[in-house]
Amino acid sequence: MLNPLLPRPAAQEGADANPLGGVRSSYPGPRAQISRDARLTWWRRILPIIASHRVTFISSIVLSFASLIFQTLIPYLLNGAITNALEKHAASLHHAVTEIIIFGVLAGVSGVVSRQYLYRTAYEVETDLRSLIYEHLTWLSFSFYDRVQSGQLISRANSDIRSVQMYSTFAPLILVQTLIGVLAFGFMLKIDPRLACIAMIIMPILYVVGLKMRRVLFPISWITQARLADVATIVDENVNGVRVVKAFAQEEAEINRLSDAAERVAWAYIKDAQIRGQWSPWVQNLPQLGLALVLGFGGVMVLHGHLGIGAILAFNAYLLMLQAPFMMLGQLVMMGQRAKASAERIFEILDENPDVVERPGAYDLLDVRGDLDFDHVTFGYGSDVPVLMDFDLHIDAGETVALVGRTGSGKSTAARLLARFYDANEGTVRVDGHDVRDVTLSSLRATVGVVLDEPFLFSVTVRENIAYGVPDASPQDVEEAARGAAAHDFIMELPAGYDTVIGERGYTLSGGQRQRIAIARTLLVNPPVLILDDATSAIDVHVESTIYDALRTLMSTRTTIVIAHRISTIALARRVVVLDNGRVVGDGTHEDLLAGSKLYGEILAQTMTEEC
C-alpha cells in the first residue's frame, strides 16, 4: 500500500497529455507496491511484488515440483526393475526401461518449462523493483538529494535490486528442490526404514551449520554492498567532474582514492570468501558422510541377505540426488544474507518520505496573473542559521523585479521557495493569493519557469532538450524559442543542426550555449511567472544584449524575477530589491538605490570589478 503522504505515481494516472505542462508516463507501472509496514521482515515486504506475478511464478514452482517427483520415481523404478527383472525374473526388463525413459523425459521437459517461467518472473520482478525505486526517487524532495550521494543511489537501484530479485525468485525454487530430500526419504523408508534412518542421520548437523553460517554472513554482506556503493560514488563523481580533476591535475589523487575504495571492497569480498570457505565444505560434504554410512551398513545388509542389490543402488541414487539440494541450500543461505542486506539498503530509500508533499484536496493553479507574495518567510537548509529571515516581499502581476545581494544573501533560495523546491519554515509564499502549499505541484511548476545559472542538458538532441517541457512542440515552436534565446544561429552551425546529439550534461557545448538552450527550454513552456537565476552569467555581453531584447518583449506579458549580478541584467528590471542576510534592506529603482543605498553601491562596485 502506498504511503498516503506520497503523491500518486504519474505512471498510474494514464498516458494522456498533462494539460498543465509535460506528459504523463505511458508505462503502466508495477502491478503492486512493497508493504510500507517497516515492522515486517524484508521478504514479507517484497512479497506483494512477487504475488503480482503469481501465475508465472506458481506455474514455475508447480512444474519444478512435478519434475522433482519424476526424478525421485526413477531410482524407485530402477530398484523394482533390478529386483523383479534381473534377480527374480518375474517381470519384463523392456517394460521397466520404457517407464524409466518416459519419466526421465517428463522430468526434463517440466524442468525446462519451469525455468523459463521462473526467469520470466525474476526479470519482471526486477523491473518492478527498479521502477518502484525510481518513481520514489522522483517524488523525494530536494532536501533528500542534498544529503545523499548519487553513487549510493545508483548502487541501490542496480546491484542491490539484483540481489533481492535473485533471492526472492530463486529461493522458493531452491526450497522446492530441497524437497527432493523429503521425497527421497519417503522412498527410502519404503525400501528399508533402518537404512533410511542411517542415511538421514547427518540432517541435524546440517541444520546447525546452516544457522551458524547465516549469522556470520549477514554483517559482511552489508559491508560489501555499502563499499560497492562507495566505489560507484567515486566513479560517478570522477566521470561528472572529469574537467575539474584534469584542470587541477588531480588524476593520481583520484586514482589513489578509487584504489583505496577498491581495496576496501576487496577486503570485504575476501572476508566473505573466507567465511564461505570455512562453512560451505560442511554443507557440501556432509551428504558424502551419509553416502559412506549407506554403503557401509547397506553392504553388510546385502551380504547377509537382508537387502537386495537394487535397493542399495536406489539408496545410492537418492543420496546422489540429495547432494545438489544440500549444495543449493548452502548457496541459499549466502544469497539470503546478501539479499537481506541489500533489501534493508533499498528500504532506507523507499521508507524516506518527501518533505514537500501535496496536501489533501490540493487544487490546480489556473488562469495565473502572476501576483507574488513572500509573507514574513523564514527558511534554512537544515542548519541553525536561516538563509532567509522574516523575508517580506510583494511583486505585482506583470512586474519585473531584480533581486540583488551578496553571495549567500538568499536570492536563489527565494526563487526555490516560490517553485516549492523547499517549504518555508515560517511564513507563507503565495501566487495570486494562493498558498503554494495548497496547490498541486504540477500546476505550480507549470506556472513558475526557472532558468538556472548552471543549466543541465540531457544526452539527447538539441531539439529534445529545448522541447523537454513540451515534448509535442512543433519544430516551428522549438525554433522560435531558440531564436528568442539567441540560440538558433549557433544551433544551425552544429553538425546536424537541431538534431545534433548533445554530449553528456551538455559539455560538448560552451557554457553560454548551454545557458541559451536552457533559456529556450523555458521560453517554450511560456510560464506566467519567469525566474532568471543568473541565467546569462556565461554568455558573451554582445549575445546577452540580443537575448535581452527578446526577453524584454517576453517579460512584458508576465511576472519576472531576475536574480542578477551584472549591471546589464539589473537593467532589465524597473524595480530592484536588495537583500542582505536573508532580509530585504532596499527596494526601489536602480537610480534611487544607487543614490540612497550604500550596500547597493558596494555590490555594484564589486560586480564591475569582477567583470573587469
Q: Residue 22 to residues 136, 142, 443, 453, 559: CA-CA distances in angstroms?
A: 19, 20, 10, 22, 21
CATH number of the domain that residue 501 is part of: 3.40.50.300
User: Is residue 234 one of the residues assigned to a domain?
Assistant: yes
For residue range 183-236, list pLDDT tens digits in order: 777 877 887 788 877 777 777 777 677 667 767 777 787 788 778 777 877 777
Strand arrangement of the beta sheet that strand 372-379 belongs to: 388-395, 372-379, 426-431, 434-435
Q: Decide if 314 is inside a domain.
A: yes
Alpha-carbon span 121 to 131, nearest angstrom: 15
Pick the closest to residue 82 from 71, 97, 69, 68 (CA basis): 97
- Sheet containing 575-580: which strands, arranged edge to edge? 448-451, 529-533, 559-563, 400-405, 575-580, 583-588
pLDDT digits (tens, 9 = 90+) for 81-117: 776 666 666 666 777 788 888 888 998 899 889 988 9
Rounded Cα–Cα distance for residues 511 and 508 (Å): 9
Same domain, yes or no, for 279 and 409?
A: no
Q: Assess contact for 547 and 516: CB atoms under 8 A.
A: yes
Same structural domain, 487 and 567: yes
Angle, to 10 degrees, between the axis of helix 511-525 and the axis of helix 475-484? 120
Is 254 exposed, middle or buried (CB count within 10 Å of its CB: 0-12, 13-18, 19+)? middle
Residue 549 and residue 437 in one domain = yes
Name the domain boundary from 294, 315, 350: 350
Condensed to tens digits (0 to 9), the pLDDT of residues 39-87 reads 888 888 888 988 888 899 999 989 988 888 888 888 777 777 776 666 6
Tell me, yes or no, whether 575 and 466 share the same domain: yes
Total domain count, the chain: 2
- Record the cell numbers describing residue 170, joined without a space: 530463486
Tell me whether residue 355 is in a domain: no
Residues 296 and 409 in one domain: no
pLDDT at 381 over 70: yes
Residue labelled with grid coordinates 539484483: 162
The answer as to whether 448 is a domain residue is yes
User: Are residue 304 and residue 414 in the same domain, yes or no?
Assistant: no
Q: How far apart are CA 298 and CA 316, in angstroms?
A: 10
Tell whether 7 is covered by a domain.
no
Per-residue CA distances from 242 to 64, 127, 248, 262, 484 (Å)? 51, 31, 10, 19, 32
Altogether, the residues listed in the chain come to a count of: 612
Q: Which of 350, 381, 403 is the last residue of a domain?
A: 350
**Is 29:131 a contact under the CB 8 Å cutoff?**
yes
Residues 323 and 428 placed together within one structural domain of the fold: no
In-domain check, residue 22: no
Indicate whether 164 and 78 sit together in one domain. yes
Shared domain check, 241 and 285: yes
Span of 268-272, 313-317, 375-379, 593-597 with lowest mean pLDDT = 313-317
C-alpha atoms less than 13 angstroms from C-alpha of 34 in its C-beta half-sphere: 31
Weakest-pLDDT range from 292-301, 526-535, 547-556: 547-556
pLDDT digit string, tens, across residues 412-444 = 899 999 999 999 999 999 999 999 999 999 899
Class of residue 559 by CB neighbours under 10 A (exposed 0-12, middle 13-18, buried 19+):
buried
Same structural domain, 104 and 36: yes
Could you list the residue range(s) of the whole structural domain that residue 376 is in? Answer: 372-611
Q: Where is the domain boundary, 301, 317, 350?
A: 350
For residue 178, the one-letter residue type is: T
Residue 583 forms part of a structural domain? yes
Percentage, residues of the chain above pLDDT 90: 16
Residue 18 lies in a domain: no
Q: Amino acid identity of 162? A: R
**Which CATH number do you get for residue 64?**
1.20.1560.10
Least confident of 246-250, 300-304, 518-522: 246-250
Q: Are residues 115 and 258 in the same domain?
A: yes
Q: Three-state secondary structure along 372-393?
A: EEEEEEEECCCCCCCCEEEEEE
Looking at residue 394, what is its pLDDT? 95
Q: How far apart are CA 482 and CA 499, in angstroms?
A: 13
pLDDT of res. 34: 84
Please, what is the end-to-end C-alpha distance for the chain in angstroms?
Answer: 59
Q: Are residues 333 and 411 in the same domain?
A: no
